[in-house]
Amino acid sequence: MLYLGCPQWSSTQWKGRFFSSNCAPSNMLSEYGQIFNTVEGNTSFYADPKPDTINKWYQAVPEDFKFTFKIPRRFSHDMALQHCQDDLKVWLDLFSPLFSKIGQVMLQLPKACSPEYLHRIENFCALLPDELSVAVEVRHLDFFDKGDAERRYNQFLMKHNYNRIMMDTRPLFSEIPNTEAIIDAQAKKPKVPLHVIATSNAPIVRYVGTSNLEDNRAFYKPWLNKIRLWLEEGKTPYVFFHTADNYDAPLLTRQFIAELGLEHNVSLPFPAEKEAKQNSLF
């Protein structure tokens, strides 16, 4: 199984382009789920939803859809992975009705979290229930040194079947910062080396593409063979497509899957395209 998605499911910019022209915000997740089979749940990084919102999310997507929610930044950034056992249990209880539709939970660590804090990462991840698949994203450059620090980190992930998140920001940083969106994205996204490694069975790739869709072909070409290889090995890759403003992220995903040569819902008509065909009958 190949999971493809974007870093959001709600965007007014997608109305009439990917979503139907009259798609209400409350229906965007449902229409998103007709196109993609996973999503980066960035909303959970910043705030907790209400319990009834969790239930609505569950009902809005198909049975085979998988959320990949980020663990709140209050644990990873504000509390530095310490003294958060009780608060984490509350968060897990809140999301428990969605567990069957959660593909992975993503622990995104700040740049300040260096290899000397690996024990904190281990202790925190040990608090997560076994039924949740875990993925970890590091940003401190010492985790990319190809030396002892990185080996210890990768060994820790492999030992516990945690997935190392691969952040491919090469396309983004190849762009001239000539728009507000690119300037903002380059300021916020990490400029870290790309180390391609599957430490468990569900490798995650976060690909931040260029604004010009055609320019992405050279950057993601190596990913095509890597994804094919992982699928042949029985792995379940998750690939998320970003652009600086995410305006064309669904088109970038469709372009990628077309070159990959696999069938996927992304290749089918978007709700907006179905709507256009229906209107053309009258």
What is the residue extent of each domain of the chain? 3-280
- The b-or-e profile of 141-155 (16+ CB within 10 A means b, else e) is eebbeeeebbeebee
pLDDT at 226: 98
Roughly what angle, to the nearest 10 degrees, separates helices 51-60 and 28-35?
A: 40
The Cα-based distances of 176 to 149, 181, 186, 244 in angstroms read: 33, 11, 10, 12
Res 280: pLDDT: 54
Provide the residue type at 143 as one letter. Answer: F
Pairing of strands 163-168, 204-208: parallel
24, pLDDT greater than 80: yes
Mean pLDDT throughout 177-193?
A: 95
Tens of pLDDT, residue by residue over 216-245, are 999 999 999 999 999 999 999 999 999 999
Which percentage of the chain shows pLDDT scores above 90? 97
Residue 145 has phi, psi (to 5 degrees) of -85, -5
Class of domain 3-280: alpha beta
List CB contacts of 19: < 8 A, sequence separation 6 or more.
Answer: 28, 31, 32, 270, 271, 272
Instruction: Evaluate if residue 282 carries a pLDDT over 60.
Output: no
Residue that the structure tokens 């999310």 belong to: 57
Is residue 275 very low, low, confident or very high in pLDDT (cuts 50, 70, 90)? Answer: confident
The kind and range of the H/E element at 243 are none
Asked if the model's pLDDT at residue 271 lies above 70, the reply is: yes
In the chain, the amino acid numbered 129 is P
Q: Residue 66 — pLDDT band, cuts 50, 70, 90?
A: very high
**Tens of pLDDT along 151-170?**
999 999 999 999 999 999 99
Rounded to an integer, what distance in angstroms lies between the CA atom of residue 143 and that of residue 152? 9
Residue type, 222: P
Mean of the per-residue pLDDT values for the chain?
A: 95
Indicate the pTM of the whole model.
0.95
Q: Place 248 in a pLDDT band, splitting at 50, 70 and 90.
A: very high
Which pLDDT belongs to residue 31? 97
Task: Provide the pLDDT for residue 157.
Answer: 98
CA neighbor of 33 nearest in space, from 69, 63, 70 = 63
Q: What is the DSSP string of 19-80?
A: B-TT--GGGHHHHHHHH-SEEEETHHHH-PPPHHHHHHHHHHS-TT-EEEEEPPHIIIIIST
Task: Return the number of other C-beta atoms located less than 10 Å from residue 26's C-beta.
Answer: 10
DSSP class of residue 126? T
Q: Which residues of the chain form beta strands (DSSP E)?
A: 3-5, 38-41, 66-70, 102-108, 134-137, 163-168, 204-208, 238-242
For the cut 80, the answer to whether the pLDDT of residue 278 exceeds it is no
pLDDT confidence bin for 1, thresholds 50/70/90: very high
Residues 6+ apart with CB under 8 A from 55: 97
The pLDDT of 28-36, averaged and rounded, is 97
Secondary element (H or E) of residue 144: none
* Locus of tokens 């468990």: 200
Percentage above 70 pLDDT, the chain: 98
